[in-house]
Structure 1
Amino acid sequence: MGRDERQTNRACPVTATEQTPLSNDDVKQALVKEDDKVTLKVPVVLAERTIQVVVESDISLDPPATEIKRVTKNVFLEQVKLVPVEFDRIHKTDFFEVKRAKLFVSGFIRKDIEYASSECNGALQDRIANIPFSGFTELKEHDFLTKPIIGISGDSKAFFLNEKNDLVPRLDKYFFQNLVKYNEQPYGELVAANFYELDFSPTRVSPEEEFDTLREKIVLDLTIKVLQIRQAKVKASTIVPNLPEGTIGH
């Protein structure tokens, strides 16, 4: 074995630091009180659905490829918007539960393609492509785990008679009232993405022959949570940490 070969196979030195063990203990809790009238403002899951997205696209490869080695994918959401279309009034209020809605979803699939070119002993080539998608799906009443709530705004206008002539109205005097309700916007959360795809050259090539276009057919099962910030009254116990005595004594 020659000197050059021994140098090539020699392991590289690595610096390591031994970590110091640290202890940990339970934090004792002190009960302040039990209360069945605690009001929380928390995210509530309205629906959790798996939406199927089907896309087809052509991706150019430069330099051309002779073989696809590996493909990895991620999904990025740019929009998850809920548009209500059917309602139930809550008692005699101006608030409504949503019975049916359209869910608009858009984003893109980020695809990373590693492939070999025709170059002898050449490095692997890397091609990153963003494949956009958009669409909508319908959410019916039984699809909701918890129905969204929306408050409707309103305005009123009052007219007055002419003080000198009770037969005609005044056109220069009105009373206006406007009620504006600011609702918590339902929003989306990405849960999972399951990809099924077929990648191939749109023109048939022989082994080791180059191709500069990759056609892909992707089926994406996209799982999304739809949430809304809501107020809820719950029974709860208020606690505080019971820490060891410090500078302030008992």
Structure 2
Amino acid sequence: MSDNKENTNDYGYVKDPSCAKVKSQVESLTEQISVTPTVITPGPTFVKIPVVLAETNITIPVEATITLDQVALEIKRIKKNVFLTQSRIIPFSQDNRPGTGILFIAGFIRKNIEFATQTCTTVGSSNVCGDIRHCTVEVPFNFTTRITFLRQPIFIENTIPRELEFFTDELESCDVCSDPVIGRNPCDQSSLFREVFNEKPFTELVRADITEVDIHTNPVLNCKTPTEQKFTKLTEKVILNLTLKVLQNQQVRITAIE
């Protein structure tokens, strides 16, 4: 009896020498030496940095229906992350509202749903046992909104092609009896075209707030266990609130000081 007590812990489990082990050691502290950074000389300096064009807060209502792969008894946890897959900006206003642009956004909410399942039920009672499963889904969303610029984006338009034509009075007609042809010289022509590559505005996702209601669709009830219900489908009504920054790389003049 004493040997059995020595081989068991306080919870009655048998002590197994091959079970998990922990080995630790004390790490030494490595000293560091401060380094003075090399900087530019004082005076006017030009840098190219992201400049905030606009910052906006947008509320998006989304409704989604999710079908699980197995019958669920209860949703234990839903972990949510927001991703943007498209960000396009039309920086010009077509309805006489200067200083505004149109923002196109598309993305999805990645959801990892953990739910309880039923694998067995105690006979004569309402005791239920099961496993915890998970299902990862993507709930898409998209919207278009008008933004007001805090600072106008910088764009240089491409020039219209220019052509130069030259005069000649030495062209001859096929008819030797007719007069010489006077007009444009088809053998000599000059043209000018300029292509400007502008910095493309881009969007940053600053913050995402998600509020949702999960509704079990067509749950199956059992009179023996009225407190439990089974379902495979749920409808989510989501309020997604996004805070976005619209930026463009611009050349800025700063003054470096000592």
- Does the pair score TM above 0.5? yes
Match of 1:46 in 2: 53
Q: Which residue of 1 aligns with 2:86?
A: 79
1:127 to 2:135 alignment: yes
2:255 to 211, 224, 235: 235
Aligned counterpart for 2:217 among listed residues 195, 199, 202: 202
Q: CA deviation at 1:102?
A: 0.7
Residue equivalent to 1:7: 13
Mark the CA change 1:23 to 1:73 in structure 2 (over 3 Å): closer, same or farther. same
- Once the two structures are superposed, residues 59-116 of structure 1 have per-residue CA deviations (whole angstroms, 9 ceiling, x without a partner) of 11111111111111001111111111239xxxxxxxxxx8221111111100011111
Unaligned stretches of 5+ in structure 1?
88-97, 239-250
Aligned to 2:24: 16
- Contact conserved, 2:78 with 2:113, CA < 8 A, in 1? yes
Corresponding residue SS for 2:229: coil
- 8 Å contact from structure 2 (residues 40, 256) kept in 1: no
The alpha-carbon deviation at position 44 of structure 1 amounts to 1.2
Mapped to 2, the partners of 1:67 and 1:31 lie a distance apart of 60
Question: Which one has a bigger Cα radius of gyration?
Answer: 2
1:186 match = 201
AA at the equivalent of 1:123: D
Q: Which has the higher contact order (CA 8 A, sep 6+)?
A: 1
State the 1:24 CA deviation.
3.4
1:67 to 56, 68, 74: 74
- The alignment's TM-score, normalised by the length of structure 2, stands at 0.76
- Secondary structure of the 2:78 match is strand
CA distance in 2, matches of 1:187, 1:71: 30
Aligned residues: 224
**Is the Cα contact below 8 Å between 1:108 and 1:132 reproduced in 2?**
yes
SS of equivalent residue, structure 1 residue 210: strand
Q: TM-score, normalised by structure 1?
A: 0.78
Shift of 1:225: 1.5
**Alignment check: 8 A CA contact 2:213 2:238 kept:** yes
Q: CA deviation at 1:23?
A: 2.7
Q: Does structure 2 conserve the Cα–Cα contact (< 8 Å) formed by 1:82 and 1:102?
A: yes
Local SS of the residue matching 1:197: strand
Task: Confirm or deny: 8 A CA contact 1:161 1:169 kept in the other structure.
Answer: yes
Which residue of 242, 247, 252 maps to 1:222? 242
Match of 2:126 in 1: none
Which among 148, 153, 162 is matched to residue 158 of structure 2?
Answer: 153
Q: Secondary structure at the match of 2:12?
A: helix
Identity score, percent? 31
Alpha-carbon RMSD across the aligned residues, in angstroms, is: 2.8
Whichever residue aligns with residue 13 of structure 2, its letter is Q
How far apart are 1:200 and its partner, in Å?
1.2
Per the alignment, residue 176 of structure 2 pairs with none
Post-superposition offset of 1:176: 1.7
In structure 2, what residue type is equivalent to 1:149?
Answer: I
User: 2: CA distance between counterparts of 1:126 and 1:8?
Assistant: 32
1:94 aligns to what? none
